[in-house]
Structure 1
Amino acid sequence: MFTFDQLAAFIAVAEELHFGRAAERLNMTQPPLSRQIQKLERIVGTELLERDNRKVQLTPAGLAFLDEARRLLTLAGRAPATARRIASGRTGILRIGFTAASGYSVLGPLLEQISGIVPDVDIELQELVTGEQLDGLLTGELDLGLARPPFDARTFDSRLLSRESMVLAVPSGHPLAALDRDIGPEDFSHEALIMHSPTQARYFYDLVVRLLPIDHGNVVHTVSQIVTMVSLVAAKRGVAFVPESATALGINGVAFLPLAAGSTGQVELHALWNRRITNPALRLLLQDLEFSAS
């Protein structure tokens, strides 16, 4: 394999088209310069320069090789600086997992803040439920998650991003929407329910069944994503308990009703990361990132 010294020697001769001037430019004598070019041509397997006593000129192969040689030397010169920037966290890749609900609430403002702190870091986004995010943070496939409790505080550090109430989503024109008051358990006791999955949406499922007297005989659909629940409500398939931020989805045909005191809990969303931070970009980000829970 050729060396960077050989590339530099070839570039100098190719640009000067004169071995004497090229040698002077490189602060060396002409014989070792000629040997560098000869070694390079043997490695490449073809003549790169045509030379005689009167002139030096590039062969067609040499002309093509010149562009590549310049590119390689540029990359080589840039590599140490790039490595230092990655080590300092000023460049690199930040892989962020987020729940579907956070995608239409806090994700946008958070990304804007991240871009201001580490503008040269590339962001990779993955929409994942909380369990999948925890797995990714453990394996190193994710650097930062936007997820729901519970999680092991010994393994993960976290900051609260948002706190909001649960509301009842009903089809537009539904009789409950005409009550013009907070909705209590007696109001939905006979309604068809679109329920959270106890495995893929465990946080919401546990919250709802802990606070509300759910008759599982009324459950007609079990899904994992809030947007799916609201879409099914719009299709008049039943009613559903969703976080208040679901109103931002803008799905037509749905009314969102407040729940009576004692019938609703606070839905939390956290930014979380593995306490064993290996990504310098995440370490730099966390120094300046402001977490403001709403």
Structure 2
Amino acid sequence: MVDDRDLECVIAVAEELHFGRAAARLNIAQPALSKRVQKVEAHLGIQIFERNSQGAAMTAAGADLLGHARDALSSWRALEGTAAMLRSGTRGTVRIGAVGSAFYEALPTLLGRVASRLPDVTLSVVEMETPETLDALSFGDLDLGFIRPPVAPGIRARTVWEEQLVLAAPATSPFAARGGVAVAELGHERVIFFRREAGPGYWDRVSEMFLSAGVAFDPEEAAGHTSTILGIVALGAGVSIVPSSARRFSPPGVVYVPLAGDHPLPLAVVTTAAVPSPATRLVLDSLPQRPATPARILHEV
């Protein structure tokens, strides 16, 4: 079977037109080089070189084959290079599922860093609700996910982003002109939100925030996505609690008001206990080791 080293020998002889010089160039013994050239000729059933006292000359058939030999060697080296990158993780595809609210700022920031560090890794990102993400991870259809913690047993999680929750109110609301709002003031407001099943971590965090303020959390579960919720708020139908990064995709008629106190909303990267692919491992290593925030730039590798 002809291999890449055999092709190197043929190409070297073709370029040097001398077996001795070709052997010296490749740092091998001349008999070994001659044997490899003969191997290629036998395999193809074509005489590539005519040997003479001055060295070697290419036959017409050999000259016709030389370009193909160079292409084959180049393709083989590219194949080896790609395989090496796949083994190391610097090339490959990482399948990612993420909650919709992570697309406002967290994912562009976090995965933008990853893309700049791993330019040959394809990040295939799709929006998924938390239950779908966890199911896809368990079935091996995703390599990692971004969800709102906490997570179920058997899932590995690391918080990589954190931002404050804010009030989204219609521009016509009395809250719109305020510099801040206490959660306790929202007890009589119509709160537009999503079903708990879609994002239990986010839902429970907001519910606990209301309960801690002595206010019942009984939202109108009118939409499945934050963008739709904001559209309903813009119509003046109620208020909502959203991540501060939602400001980046604000429809007209919505005002964002800080909530009194500290109300962080974390985002975690999650994987299963299975051994990750090399590319997935490098992506995980490129994400922050402690939570990044919209106001802080991390320099961790």
- The verdict on a shared fold, with TM-score over 0.5 as the criterion, is yes
Rate the CA distance shift 1:31–1:277 in 2: closer, same or farther, 3 A: closer
| Structure-2 residue corresponding to 1:158 | 158
- Is the partner of 1:269 in helix, strand or coil? strand
- Determine if contact 2:19/2:34 at 8 Å carries over to the other structure: no
| Structure-1 residue corresponding to 2:43 | 40
Rate the CA distance shift 1:24–1:287 in 2: closer, same or farther, 3 A: closer
Matches within 5 A, 1:140-159: 140-159=140-159
Greater shift in the superposed pair: 105-114 or 88-97: 88-97
| Structure-1 residue corresponding to 2:299 | none
Rate the CA distance shift 1:272–1:222 in 2: closer, same or farther, 3 A: same
- Determine if contact 1:158/1:272 at 8 Å carries over to the other structure: yes
| Structure-1 residue corresponding to 2:170 | 171
How far, CA to CA, are the matches of 1:260 and 1:23 in structure 2?
A: 79
Whether 1:71 and 2:74 are equivalent positions in the alignment is: yes
- Is the partner of 1:37 in helix, strand or coil? helix
The total of aligned residue pairs comes to: 277
Query: CA offsets per residue over residues 57-77 of structure 1, 9 Å max, x none?
Result: 454641431331330453366
How far, CA to CA, are the matches of 2:78 and 2:179 in structure 1?
A: 67
How far, CA to CA, are the matches of 2:37 and 2:169 in structure 1?
A: 84
| Structure-2 residue corresponding to 1:122 | 121
How far, CA to CA, are the matches of 1:19 and 1:293 in structure 2?
A: 62
**Alignment-mate amino acid for residue 265 of structure 2:** V
How far, CA to CA, are the matches of 1:136 and 1:40 in structure 2?
A: 49
**Cα displacement (A) at 1:230:** 1.2
Provide the TM-score with structure 1 as the length reference. Answer: 0.71
How far, CA to CA, are the matches of 2:267 and 2:100 in structure 1?
A: 12
How far, CA to CA, are the matches of 1:287 and 1:204 in structure 2?
A: 25
How far, CA to CA, are the matches of 2:89 and 2:180 in structure 1?
A: 52
Matches within 5 A, 1:1-294: 2-18=2-18, 22=22, 26-29=28-31, 32-33=35-36, 35-42=38-45, 47=46, 49=48, 51=50, 55-59=57-61, 61-75=64-78, 78=81, 83=84, 87=87, 89=89, 92-114=92-114, 118-119=117-118, 122-126=121-125, 127-159=127-159, 161-167=161-167, 169-175=168-174, 177=176, 182=181, 184-188=185-189, 191=190, 194-208=192-206, 211=210, 213=216, 219=220, 222-236=222-236, 238-258=238-258, 266-283=264-281, 285-286=284-285, 289-292=288-291, 294=293
- Is the partner of 1:199 in helix, strand or coil? helix
**Alignment-mate amino acid for residue 132 of structure 1:** E
How far, CA to CA, are the matches of 1:244 and 1:269 in structure 2?
A: 13
**Cα displacement (A) at 1:291:** 1.4
Rate the CA distance shift 1:235–1:11 in 2: closer, same or farther, 3 A: farther
Rate the CA distance shift 1:161–1:8 in 2: closer, same or farther, 3 A: same
- Determine if contact 1:163/1:268 at 8 Å carries over to the other structure: yes
Query: CA offsets per residue over residues 214-262 of structure 1, 9 Å max, x none?
Result: 566xx4x73222122113322445433323332232432211245577x
How far, CA to CA, are the matches of 1:125 and 1:31 in structure 2?
A: 49
How far, CA to CA, are the matches of 1:107 and 1:77 in structure 2?
A: 33
Identity %: 27
- Where structure 1 has 5 or more consecutive residues not aligned to the other structure, the ranges are none
How far, CA to CA, are the matches of 2:60 and 2:138 in structure 1?
A: 55
**Alignment-mate amino acid for residue 32 of structure 1:** K
**Cα displacement (A) at 1:10:** 2.4
CA RMSD in angstroms, aligned pairs only: 3.9
**Cα displacement (A) at 1:97:** 3.4
How far, CA to CA, are the matches of 2:131 and 2:228 in structure 1?
A: 19
How far, CA to CA, are the matches of 1:90 and 1:65 in structure 2?
A: 30
**Cα displacement (A) at 1:270:** 1.8
- Determine if contact 2:230/2:250 at 8 Å carries over to the other structure: no
How far, CA to CA, are the matches of 2:101 and 2:144 in structure 1?
A: 16
- Determine if contact 2:162/2:267 at 8 Å carries over to the other structure: yes
**Alignment-mate amino acid for residue 6 of structure 2:** Q
Rate the CA distance shift 1:215–1:291 in 2: closer, same or farther, 3 A: closer
**Cα displacement (A) at 1:11:** 1.6
